[in-house]
């Protein structure tokens, strides 16, 4: 296997996290874009759970986005997204990821798909998610990024989920009292790496030539 293989789905925030880390680390992988309603047998074979992203390296299969990101920065980290961080900063990063993937993702799902969760109103679910937004706004009120004045794994791990939350009602967010979070998010959305990460790829077909990410 000349390159690691990444099974991905463009709009999934977990898969976005993995692609961001790979691009930020300056690595290249074989990208296999899948449709969640039409998962390929090759993916099911290596990961029975079959949720994207899944990374297959020569040594192992990694099926958690956080672990794919850590793997990427352990290979190389030219921009200092992870390796130069202190032990305390690394733990803060892991804590933010856990909070994003736990309580915030729970509120996000219910806010985005409120019709599936009629127990509470969309507003109630949005307010639950706003607890995390308020925390990030406070952090960003004194620094440019979540761990200081340089982007780190914390930022690229959390950002896709904030983006998804905002996309439920962009007009509300753009007029809400989150000026620092708006600044932070917009900086990523306008960045070259975001355009690279969000590029469209056709659904993977086993018989076709491998697709490289990022493109050379």
Supply 135's token pair: 């925390």
- pLDDT for 48: 87
Task: Please give the CATH topology (third level) of the domain spanning 5-79+195-213.
Answer: Glutaredoxin (3.40.30)
- pLDDT for 199: 95
Q: Which CATH number fits domain 87-191: 1.10.3720.10, 1.10.510.10, 3.30.300.30, 1.20.1050.10?
A: 1.20.1050.10
Q: How many CB atoms lie within 10 A of CB 114?
A: 18
- pLDDT for 43: 96
Give the start-to-end residue ranges of the domains of the chain. 5-79+195-213, 87-191
- pLDDT for 49: 86
CB 213 within 8 A of CB 198: no
CB 31 within 8 A of CB 201: yes
- pLDDT for 74: 97
- pLDDT for 1: 52
Residues of the chain short of pLDDT 70, as ranges, are: 1
């Amino acid at each position: 296997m000349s390159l690691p293989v990444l099974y991905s789905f463009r709009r999934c925030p977990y898969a976005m996290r993995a692609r961001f880390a790979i691009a930020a680390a300056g690595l290249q992988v074989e990208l296999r874009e899948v449709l969640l309603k039409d998962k390929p047998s090759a993916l099911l074979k290596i990961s029975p759970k079959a949720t994207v992203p899944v990374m297959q390296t020569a040594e192992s299969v990694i099926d958690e986005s956080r672990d794919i990101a850590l793997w990427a920065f352990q290979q190389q980290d030219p921009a200092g997204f992870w390796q130069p961080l202190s032990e305390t900063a690394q733990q803060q990063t892991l804590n933010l990821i856990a909070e994003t993937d736990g309580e915030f993702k729970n509120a996000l799902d219910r806010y985005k798909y409120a019709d599936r969760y009629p127990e509470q109103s969309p507003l109630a679910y949005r307010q639950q998610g706003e607890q995390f937004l308020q925390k990030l706004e406070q952090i960003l009120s004194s620094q440019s990024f979540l761990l200081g004045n340089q982007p780190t794994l914390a930022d690229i791990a959390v950002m896709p989920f904030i983006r998804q939350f905002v996309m439920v009602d962009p007009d509300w967010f753009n007029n809400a009292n989150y000026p620092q979070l708006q600044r932070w998010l917009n900086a990523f959305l306008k960045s070259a790496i975001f355009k690279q990460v969000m590029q469209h790829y056709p659904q993977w077909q086993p018989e076709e030539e491998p697709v490289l990410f990022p493109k050379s």
